[in-house]
Amino acid sequence: MYGTFSFPFQQVPVYPRAVQLAALFVKGLAVAIAMNCACGWPLPTESCLPWWFFDGKFF
């Protein structure tokens, strides 16, 4: 009924050190958001959300 089409398998290497650094960055960001909340939100909420500036490809 449907034609078969297969995508070529692409294996992207994942380095453990990069995963650790990214996790540490996101944990630090969570602390920064908590500090922003404790100080009465001096920075806009939108500027603190990680999906606006961190996509995981930096590391």
Task: Give the per-residue pLDDT at 50.
Answer: 84
Tell me the per-residue pLDDT of 4-54, one tens digit each, with 9 for 90 and over. 666 677 787 888 998 899 899 989 999 999 999 999 999 998 888 888 888
The closest of 11, 30, 10, 25 to 57, measured between CA atoms, is 25
Statement: residue 58 has pLDDT above 80: no
Global pTM?
0.67
Longest pairwise C-alpha distance within the chain? 61
Task: Give the per-residue pLDDT at 47.
Answer: 86
Q: CA–CA separation, 55 vs 22, rounded Å?
A: 10
Task: Give the per-residue pLDDT at 30.
Answer: 92
